[in-house]
Structure 1
Amino acid sequence: MAESTPLFTRIFRAFRYRDFRIMWLGACVSTIGTFVQQFAQSWLVYDLTKDPFYLGLDLFLGQLPIMLFSLFGGVFADRLDRKKMLLASQYIQMVCAFTLSVLFATKSLHGHVWPILALSFFVGVGQSFGGPAYSALLPTLVEPQDLANAISMNSIQFNLARIIGPTLGGLAYTAFGATWCFALNGVSYIAVIISLLIIKVKFVAPTTRTSVMTSMKEGIKFIRDREGLTPLVVLAFCTTLFGFSLTGFLPVIVRTIFHRGPGTYELLLVFSGAGSICGALGVAAMERLKGQARLAVLCLFALGLATAGFAMSHWLPLSCLLIFLTGMSVMASASLLLSVVQLIVADSMRGRVMSVYNLAIRAGIPLGALLLGKLIPVLGITVAIAGFGLCLILVAAYFLIVMAKLPTFHRSA
């Protein structure tokens, strides 16, 4: 891209593509609904149990099916219609949202948390097949030179939803109760279903008689053989293991450190989402850089520092600033890593490779949440989260020092 290209045009260049615009809008509306529900669900789980372990368990059960079935989802994404796979995933998640809404409307839970946990698991089942299909579909909506920008724009819609969703969730929860939060999420899936029905998918699944297990092994072999790809997968796992659990435990921080209610929880989520948008915008504004992976690790180092600082802060304005920095760092790191991986993968292998990469990301989230949920009662919220920040610093230092010889760390993909 020419140096004279205006900054605004450079940042939003992926929106030149019709199908990407449609898909982006539908996904954004749906993700807003997801965060509306997540706001109410996290608050309710902690209110029902008064135990941070159940917050971690809820996150873990939501991600467990992705750990179990994501590799199969990747194989199917390379041999089936990706659009139909995504539609099936949306239908499953929509039914779960409406089911939870009905349970609350009819007061069928009776103070029990297990139906919420069970539905989180079924949502994860839908995502385990929809995730690889979406990851494989996204690069086909834009030209290769705009792929990194499209990934950043996709991160922006996700984090824009992180700001709008908790705000709407807080208003709906306060004014109407949890039932409407879950119902709004159910309705939001209609937007992404419509967008999927409108877009034209270029990928045509090849006819193959290869078994599912053989196809899965081919994907894993490709990752092993492709220079620099295995370290990127390991790095993605470590990033989510230690870097993605913070927001899931904000209800504990709000209650035990600041002694406040849902309004403060919503405020911190908004600052986190705003930081993530800034991080994604920064990546979107970049041309294809030399050493994207190395820059991602530097962002991870900054994430560790900000996380440790947030854990030790007892002053709300400082905490808002630090959680803004954590959001910015984690999203910049994740966007850079994902763009590197997508750019070095052939489309015929994309579903399988991205299923492994997504598995690494998704596995780290619930394992980190479960671990943090067990550590908080033992060590306290401050020490536990600061410890995760220190782990991020150590992981980043390892990759910067030991893995610095990898060509992927110095050249653009």
Structure 2
Amino acid sequence: MPRSPEFLARIFRAFRYRDFRLMWMGACVSTIGTFVQQFAQSWLVYDLTKDAFYLGLDLFLGQLPIILFSLFGGVFADRLDRRKMLLASQYIQMVCAFLLALLFATHIIKVWHILALSFFVGVGQSFGGPAYSALLPTLVDPEGLSNAIAMNSIQFNLARIVGPTLGGLAYATLGATWCFTLNGISYLAVIASLFMIQVKFVPVKSTESVLTSMKEGLRFIRHRDGMSALVILAFCTTLFGSSINSFLPVFVRNIFNKGPETYTLLLVCSGAGSVLGALAVAASEKMKGQGRLSLLILVSLGLATSGFALSRWLPLSCALMFLGGAAIMASASFMLSLAQRITTDAMRGRVMSVYSLAFRAGIPLGGLVLGKLIPIFGVSKALTGAGLALVAISLYFLILNQDSTFRPASQEP
């Protein structure tokens, strides 16, 4: 058994790097601010329209630019100073938050204002996301990359818990204006951290067209051993493995005949599992066989999904939600670490934009497909099928996979 100080030092070893610490703290504050705004914004949209359709439309318009432009963002992340790209992204999002606060404070807010600003925030994120993914590995040494990615996941999950809680308090005591204002102020933290870090990699200037650069990135993915498999697995992870949370209300109402408190309990179990999964990755030393381990974890995620779909006993369902949360976070962290190791600095923006797009796209597509299948087959059969599909795909790659498939890339362009 490792001594506690040594164990904690291993879990938080990415914090030994000054630039990573600065970026982590800035990103955490900013992400908390984002969740504070999301809480107030959802209430505001529904108050203005009394129509749930606009909640979905607001979410869709916020994600649409990421789907449309993130591949272009990846190209620019390999051409421009990634810190400057991130700064521009933060400025766009900060201005949108302060503008929303001003519109609400002056009582001239309309729902179309919110929808338009959500789209512009998405535009900023579509270019900032690839730049952040490309910048993160340059803040730590190669042996600290897996830990840094796990710490980044923990940062997001902490913000997901703290943000809505602060949002609810701020909304009740200060009003929506201050929720938007606090989010705008939170961007100052990540902006300050970006000015303080030292960027080690500066992309080489290119005269190629954007489409040519994009095609070059896609060719790299096709020809680099293991990269295509990781992109496919990232897509399948969210397509089949993120379905539980999307359809939890159906299980709570129709299977368990319970109310919102049971829904909250299951979400808490999933969130606790996610934090544990990220901590487990953070505690692991640099190891061989991460590809095989990721696939085994995906098999467990598929089995947990199917088991939850068939369970009629709430304690077992809570345990399976916990296992599923841990599995999806651990597998996602390991696969992201592998993708970062396989690519090169010169191609990192383009490759990670494709990987991130695949990971994000699985969530809405999975929800759309299962939303059509559930009325036909029932929620239990549909979710069981999703879990078994993930098991089958993971086993297929597990049989084919050799650890040598996922080789770190040479850092030559």
Could you tell me which of 145, 151, 155 is aligned with 1:157? 155
AA partner of residue 67 (structure 1): I
User: 2:126: which partner in 1?
Assistant: 128
1:207 shift after superposition: 2.1
Aligned counterpart, 2:405: 408
Listed one character per residue, the Cα deviations across residues 47-79 of structure 1 (whole Å, up to 9, x for unaligned) are 96776x776655443332222111111111111
Pair 1:238-2:236 in alignment: yes
Seen in structure 2, the aligned counterparts of structure 1 residues 322 and 145 have a Cα distance that, compared at 3 Å, is same
Instruction: Tell me the residue number matched to 1:395.
Output: 393
Residue of structure 2 equivalent to 1:8:
8
Once residues 313 and 29 of structure 2 are traced to their aligned partners in structure 1, the CA distance between those partners, rounded to angstroms, is: 34
The amino acid of 2:270's aligned partner reads: S
Deviation of the 1:246 alpha carbon:
4.1
Task: Give the corresponding residue for 1:329.
Answer: 327
Structure 1 residue 244, shift from structure 2 partner? 3.1
Asked if structure 1 preserves the Cα contact closer than 8 Å seen for 2:343 and 2:408, the reply is no
Give matches, 1:267-286, under 5 Å.
Answer: 267-286=265-284
Whole-angstrom distance in 1 between the partners of 2:371 and 2:99: 27
Residues 380-410 of structure 1: CA deviation (Å, up to 9, x unaligned)? 6555544433332333233223x3357336x
What is the rounded CA distance, in whole Å, between the counterparts of 2:176 and 2:383 in structure 1? Answer: 28
The structure that has the greater radius of gyration is 2
Percent same amino acid at aligned positions?
70
| Contact 1:170 1:266 survives alignment (8 Å) | no
Identify unmatched segments of 5+ residues in structure 1.
none
Hey, what does 1:145 align to over in structure 2? 143
2:220 maps to which of 212, 219, 222:
222
What is the distance in 2 between the residues matched to 1:124 and 1:274? 28
> Alpha-carbon deviations, 1:70-122, whole Å to 9, x = none?
11111111111111111111222233334445555566667x6x665544333
**CA distance in 2 between partners of 1:372 and 1:167 (Å):** 30
What is the CA distance between 1:131 and its match in structure 2? 0.8
Aligned residue for 1:68?
68
* Aligned residue in 1 for 2:367: 369
Aligned to 1:301: 299
CA RMSD between the two structures: 3.5
Q: Is the 8 A contact 2:289 2:403 kept in 1?
A: no
Helix, strand or coil: the match of 2:78? helix
Q: Which residue does 1:346 correspond to in 2?
A: 344
Aligned to 2:196: 198
Q: Is residue 85–residue 128 contact of structure 2 (8 Å, CA) maintained in 1?
A: yes
Q: 1:246 to 1:45 in 2, by over 3 A?
A: farther
CA distance in 1 between counterparts of 2:114 and 2:374 reads: 22
Give the CA deviation at 1:334.
0.5
Kept after mapping to 2: 8 A contact 1:63/1:365: no
User: What is the correspondence of 1:377-392 to structure 2 with a 5 Å cutoff?
Assistant: 382=380, 384-392=382-390
The question of 1:22 aligning with 2:44 is answered no
Is 2:79 aligned against 1:82? no
| CA–CA distance in structure 1, aligned partners of residues 104 and 249 of structure 2 | 21
Q: Are the aligned partners of 2:276 and 2:326 in contact in 1 as well (CA < 8 Å)?
A: yes
Distance 1:43 1:259 in 2: 24
The runs of 5 or more residues in structure 2 that have no matched partner are: none
CA deviation after TM superposition for structure 1 residue 232, in Å: 0.9
The answer for the alignment partner of 1:187 in structure 2 is 185
Amino acid at match of 1:332: A
Specify whether residues 17 and 99 from structure 1 end up closer, same or farther in structure 2 by C-alpha distance, changes over 3 A only.
same
TM-score of the superposed pair, with normalisation by structure 2: 0.84
Per-residue Cα deviation, 1:296-354 (whole angstroms, up to 9, x for no partner)? 12212222233334445566655443332222111100010011111121111111111
Q: 1:19 offset after TM fit, Å?
A: 0.7
Give how far 1:125 is off.
1.4
Bigger relative contact order, structure 1 or 2 (CA pairs below 8 A, ≥6 apart): 1
Q: Is the 8 A contact 2:138 2:201 kept in 1?
A: yes
The CA distance in 1 between the partners of 2:408 and 2:348, in whole Å, is: 19
Could you tell me whether the CA contact under 8 Å between 2:266 and 2:318 is conserved in 1? yes
CA spacing shift, 1:231–1:127, aligned 2, 3 Å: same
TM-score normalised by structure 1 residue count: 0.84
